[in-house]
Structure 1
Amino acid sequence: MVPVKKFALTLGAGLAALALPALAQAQVTKIKSNPAAFILDAADVKAGTDMIFVSGQLPSPIDPAKPMSEIKSIDDYGDSKVQTISVLGKIKKILEGRGYAMGDVVKMTLFIAADPKLGKIDFAGVNEGFKQFFGTAENPSTTARSAFQVANLVGPNFLIEIEAIAAKKE
């Protein structure tokens, strides 16, 4: 007869050993049915995968030395392309600080405000900004993505806010 304490330890070790193969198989599968598409159809993130959720990021002023009290217009932040590049640069820095890369991004949500100079959102400019970070030699992959036109963002000079989810093997 096996003492209860010894049985529990043996059972626990056995269960842990069974869990190890599952952890080793943790994976992220990026699903893209159209090779020419700029975004994914989906991203399948299996259990045991490390994930990071990046809060919505806003662009930085073009001139970081300019005092906030002197920033008065959208021109201080740039057009939709410039603002998108700024935001994605911030997201890249956050991810790299935690051991992730832009290639680990599986989902992004974009909130886009109309450019007052155009009277509408500049979706083409946003996509041009994305092309600096996705589908490049450094990062040939892309991400699942949703985009929403919003009436306003937190400040009148912001044209885009982006949040991101990244996932990678442990």
Structure 2
Amino acid sequence: MRLFTGPRISALALAAAVAAAPFASAQAQVTKIQSNPQALILDAADVKAGTDIIFLSGQLASPVDPKKTFADVKSIDDLGDTKTQTISVLTKIKALLEARGYTMADLVKLTLFVAADPKLGHMDFAGANEGFKQFFKTADNPTTVARSTFQVAALAGPYFLIEIEGIAAKKK
């Protein structure tokens, strides 16, 4: 019984194809696309097949006082304003990435969910950007990410002003 009815592949051709297979993943790449180099965010990120990707769940700020737990949080002052919370969340994201061999430069997409600051009566987009600037387009990380920002009615707790989720990608 003959199972293969197509053209015969020589042993040499088959060996060459198998030998080339590992190099396909070595060509994996991430291209960050930015039409305006002065812009704070990317236009897009192109992630090719064979690239390692990590999806980060939404992260929330930690209490300003590291001795406090979430049970101790009784006001926005315990978590800080939007800028302070953004820095806290991005610090958590940085630690999550580094624990898995990624860097902040490997981030390709962030989604920011921002609640209104009761002191302002609206979301503090400028504060979120000020916190963001501590991690992107810096001497340590001259890159940036594709990003979306949404104002939301509320987050997981009454004193959270920002939640950030992300996607990072790097060559294998």
Percent identity, aligned pairs only, is 68
The whole-number CA distance in structure 2 between the counterparts of 1:73 and 1:12 is: 66
How do residues 95-134 of structure 1 correspond to structure 2 at under 5 angstroms?
A: 95-134=97-136
Q: How does 1:7-46 map to 2 (within 5 A)?
A: 13-46=15-48
Tell me the CA shift for residue 169 of structure 1. 0.5
Provide the TM-score with structure 2 as the length reference.
Answer: 0.90
Instruction: With the length of structure 1 as denominator, give the TM-score of the two structures.
Output: 0.91
C-alpha separation between the residues in 1 aligned to 2:15 and 2:122? 60
2:89 corresponding residue in structure 1: 87
Match of 2:50 in 1: 48
Give 1:166's aligned residue.
Answer: 168
Q: Specify every segment of 5 or more residues in structure 2 that has no aligned partner in the other structure, as ranges.
A: none
Structure 1 residues not aligned, in runs of 5+: none
Indicate how the Cα distance of structure 1 residues 12 and 116 shifts in structure 2: closer, same or farther if over 3 A, else same. Answer: farther
Q: What's the Cα RMSD here?
A: 1.8
Q: Which residue of 2 aligns with 1:147?
A: 149
- In 1, Cα distance between equivalents of 2:39 and 2:147: 12
Provide the rounded CA distance (Å) in 2 between the counterparts of 1:126 and 1:76.
17
Equivalent position amino acid for 1:159 in 2? L
Kept after mapping to 1: 8 A contact 2:63/2:69: no
In structure 2, the residue matched to 1:77 is 79
